[in-house]
Structure 1
Amino acid sequence: MPAKKSALHRQVGTQLSFALYGAANRMIRLHKPLLEPLGLTFPQYLAMLELFNEAPRTVGDLGSKLAMDTGTITPLLKRLEVAGMVTRTRDKNDERRVLIALTDAGEDLREELWAVTDKIKTACQLTDDGLESLRDTLNAFARPADE
């Protein structure tokens, strides 16, 4: 019996990494047709949602909240700036810091982007409790052990 169990655990479909990979791909596939007409990528969408919660804020703070390093968040924000959705300005109190704020055009996307969130929630076909439980489990898993 242990040999069968061992063989089962060696199948790709039983691996946690495979399930996470599939779930991440599904989420991106669900979001893509909803975000493309708005001119946003999935990471840009996440940044905008976070800016709706608090703006202006520093690049470092936003990157930390989204688990993105400076090399990832900076180009993403530059593209949002070129699209007219955000502004990037030096902090007057500390020139080393760059503040990100929503423009009127960015703010105008608020309701549309929250509607995307609602559509994704419906597409997931989970109860509110199920979604919260899954999110909490994934957040706990994603947090490094030393935190």
Structure 2
Amino acid sequence: MTSTRPAAEDFLRLDRQICFSLNAASRAFGGLYRVLLKDLGLTYPQYLVMLALWEEPESEGLPVKRLGERLRLDSGTLSPLLKRLEASGLVRRERSARDERSVNVTPTEAGVALKERAVEVPRSIARATGFELDEIEDLRERLNRLTEALDTATLG
């Protein structure tokens, strides 16, 4: 009788590594986003900033610190991104009236108008995956659970 259980060495195969599969998928997504975002004049990280800002009431914007937390980016990465978006006329950075130590980021009129053109990006991504919408949602939920578990393991 033969065992169908993989040998311990089999788990060291490259094609068995979840980290490799996630990295390959991330790179493939990056390539597709690069093509889709070119017409919007955005890089993928800039697109993520705009997505976060579009979720907020236009008049309030987001404090830079909160934006960094939402995007999981440190200030050394986020600050240059915001400078480029500001230079492109898509966002405005202003000191908070409530707390002068805090800087709020709000989309400009051009930044708000860009949202209408960006609506097609997630649709194009969904089509490119070949997945049904419920499969995409399930995958997103599983990846969020994985991220939470790994964050807990790292911190614990």
Q: Which runs of 4+ in 1 moved over 4 A?
A: 1-4
Count of aligned pairs between the two proteins: 147
Structure 1 unmatched ranges of 5 or more: none
Q: Which of 16, 35, 39 is 1:33 aligned to?
A: 35
AA aligned to 1:121 is A
Partner of 1:14: 16
Name structure 2 gaps, 5 residues minimum: none
Any idea what the Cα deviations from partners look like across 1:14-44, whole Å, max 9, x if unmatched? Answer: 1011101011001101111111222111010
Letter in 2 for 1:12: L
TM-score, normalization: structure 1? 0.93
Tell me how far 1:75 sits from its aligned partner. Answer: 1.0
Structure 2 length as normaliser, TM-score? Answer: 0.88
Deviation at 1:4, TM superposition (A): 5.6
What residue is the counterpart of 1:61 in the other structure? 66
Aligned equivalent of 1:71? 76
- CA 1:36/1:11 → structure 2, altered by over 3 Å: closer, same or farther? same
| 1:51-84, Cα deviation, whole Å (9 max, x unpaired) | 1101411011111111111111111111100000
Q: Distance in 2 between matches of 1:19 and 1:140?
A: 17
SS in 2 for 1:38: coil
Amino acid corresponding to residue 112 of structure 2 in structure 1: E
Structure 1 residues 87-106: aligned runs within 5 Å: 87-106=92-111
- Which amino acid letter does the alignment assign opposite residue 50 of structure 1? A
Q: Which is higher, the Rg of structure 1 or of structure 2?
A: 2
| Alignment match of 1:141 (pick from 143, 146, 151) | 146
Does residue 84 of the first structure (1) align with residue 84 of the second (2)? Answer: no
Give the drift of 1:6.
2.1
Identity, % of aligned positions: 37
In structure 2, give the amino acid aligned to 1:130: E
**Backbone CA RMSD of aligned residues:** 1.8
